[in-house]
């Protein structure tokens, strides 16, 4: 559903926060850096601006947005109730890469929440995002600033690559420090439901004595039909994908030999096994020293470089499923093609 109306907007890249804040308040779209990835922001009170976010991204209206806050004062205008468990999470992780799904105030446009009775909220920790949100003084609805289904941008250049000509303004704040999207949780009677692993490791939540329940996977569902039944509309099985076909394996020894022919790229924590040293035309290592934090920071840029390089197929190997590794494996699994 490409929308021709959004292909002729000159895109300006700026470091001027007050210009960006003014634009947001006036209902224009602004891509801005958070600690996770760049967001495509719209004044959340302005349903027309929010509608343009969906059009620009070619995102289906059934996939709701996260509302970003610069300070706590706005929270009661967005959510009806902050249960004690959510208060504990906010105290521990805000500002930071944790998104909470809570009952929405009627005033929040239905477009933001795709008609759900709940709204996703977070307070980013990146200093530039905080200053922008405070200066704009409105809640900002923002998905990641990529085209729907594509790799999330972690620097201003990657935003421009995907959205140039479709949005008026990109606030350039350099490279995102976390590199994967926020963790999305919904408080339940006895813990939280994990809707998306992300920048806050589940271990950190469990460390507070809060049980983390894992939402069931919906592997047989396709991007065309599934979402009404998924616990979070964003749990589409295929997402975050490069255009080059990607195959995801738990271990190098699981890779079938027939996939190692032709121009193949490698993506893992470290380099390929010695006996495969010459098989790959493009090698991306996320963190040879094995740091989940470093690996998360490198993930999306590595995927974009592989996409732009000579490889016609990408072999990706899982990282240890702890800390930010859970979010990395989740994104790689969704980036994978099944055929």
List residues binding ligand TXA (CB under 6 A): 34, 36-37, 39, 63-66, 97, 99, 101, 113, 116, 118-120, 142-144, 181-182, 184, 195-196, 232-234
Name the closest residue to Mg ion (Cβ).
144
Residue 65 contact among Mg ion, ligand TXA, none, beta carbon within 5 to 8 Å by kind:
ligand TXA
User: Could you tell me the smallest distance in angstroms from the CB atom of residue 239 to Mg ion?
Assistant: 7
| Phi/psi at 168 (5° precision) | -80, -30
How far does CA 260 lie from the centroid of its chain? 30
User: Could you tell me the smallest distance in angstroms from the CB atom of residue 144 to ligand TXA?
Assistant: 4
186 binds Mg ion (CB under 5 A): no
Task: State which residue, 119 or 306, has the beta carbon closest to ligand TXA.
Answer: 119
Task: State which residue, 145 or 246, has the beta carbon closest to ligand TXA.
Answer: 145
Cα–Cα distance for residue pair 158/65, rounded to 1 Å: 20
The closest of 119, 116, 49 to 81, measured between CA atoms, is: 119
Task: State which residue, 31 or 315, has the beta carbon closest to Mg ion.
Answer: 31
DSSP string, 47-83: HHHHHHHHHHHT--TTSPPEEE-SSGGGHHHHBS---
User: Could you tell me the smallest distance in angstroms from the CB atom of residue 185 to Mg ion?
Assistant: 16
Exposure of 92 by Cβ count < 10 A (0-12 exposed, 13-18 middle, 19+ buried)? Answer: middle
Q: Judged by CB under 5 A, which stretch of 1-9, 138-146, 160-168, 313-321 contacts Mg ion?
A: 138-146
User: Could you tell me the smallest distance in angstroms from the CB atom of residue 88 to Mg ion?
Assistant: 27
Task: State which residue, 41 or 272, has the beta carbon closest to ligand TXA.
Answer: 41
Cα–Cα distance for residue pair 307/304, rounded to 1 Å: 5
Cα–Cα distance for residue pair 138/24, rounded to 1 Å: 8
What are 39's strand-pairing partners? 32, 144
Q: Judged by CB under 5 A, which stretch of 52-60, 62-70, 113-121, 144-152 contacts Mg ion?
A: 144-152
User: Could you tell me the smallest distance in angstroms from the CB atom of residue 117 to Mg ion?
Assistant: 22
Q: Which of 144, 162, 244, 298 binds Mg ion (CB under 5 A)?
A: 144
Task: State which residue, 232 or 268, has the beta carbon closest to ligand TXA.
Answer: 232
User: Could you tell me the smallest distance in angstroms from the CB atom of residue 105 to ligand TXA?
Assistant: 13
How far does CA 163 lie from the centroid of its chain? 16
Task: Report helix angle 325-335 to 292-308, nearest 10.
Answer: 20
Cα–Cα distance for residue pair 166/1, rounded to 1 Å: 14
36 binds Mg ion (CB under 5 A): no
Task: State which residue, 144 or 329, has the beta carbon closest to Mg ion.
Answer: 144
**Cα–Cα–Cα angle for 161, 172, 316, nearest 5°?**
50
Task: State which residue, 144 or 186, has the beta carbon closest to Mg ion.
Answer: 144
Footprint of Mg ion on this chain (CB under 5 A)? 144
């Amino acid at each position: 559903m490409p929308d021709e109306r959004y292909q002729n907007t000159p895109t300006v890249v700026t470091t001027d926060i007050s210009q960006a804040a003014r634009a947001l308040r006036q209902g224009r779209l602004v891509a801005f850096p958070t600690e996770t990835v760049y967001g495509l922001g719209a004044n959340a009170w302005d349903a027309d601006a929010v509608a343009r976010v969906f059009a620009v991204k070619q995102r289906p209206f059934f996939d709701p947005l996260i509302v970003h806050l610069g300070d706590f004062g706005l929270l009661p205008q967005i959510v009806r109730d902050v249960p004690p468990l959510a208060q504990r999470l906010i105290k521990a992780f805000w500002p930071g890469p944790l998104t909470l799904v809570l009952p929405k105030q009627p005033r929040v446009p239905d477009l933001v929440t795709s008609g759900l009775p709940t709204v996703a909220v977070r307070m980013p920790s990146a200093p530039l995002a905080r200053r922008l949100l405070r200066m704009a003084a409105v809640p900002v609805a923002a998905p990641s600033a990529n085209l729907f289904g594509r790799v999330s941008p972690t620097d201003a250049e990657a935003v421009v690559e995907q959205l140039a000509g479709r949005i008026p303004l990109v606030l350039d704040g350099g490279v995102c420090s976390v590199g994967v999207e926020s963790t999305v949780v919904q408080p339940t009677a006895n813990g939280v439901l994990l809707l998306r692993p992300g920048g806050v490791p589940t271990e950190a939540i469990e460390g507070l004595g809060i049980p983390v329940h894992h939402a069931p996977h919906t592997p047989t569902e396709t991007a065309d039909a599934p979402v009404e039944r998924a616990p979070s509309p964003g749990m589409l099985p295929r997402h975050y994908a490069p255009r080059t076909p990607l195959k995801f394996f738990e271990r190098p020894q699981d890779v079938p030999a027939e996939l190692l022919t032709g121009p193949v790229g490698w993506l893992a924590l470290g380099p390929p096994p010695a006996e495969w040293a010459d098989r790959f035309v493009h090698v991306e290592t996320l963190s040879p020293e094995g740091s989940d934090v470093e690996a998360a920071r490198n993930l999306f840029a590595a995927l974009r470089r592989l996409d732009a390089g000579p490889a016609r197929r990408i072999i990706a190997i899982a990282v240890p499923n702890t800390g930010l590794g859970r979010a990395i494996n989740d994104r790689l699994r969704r980036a994978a093609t099944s055929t």
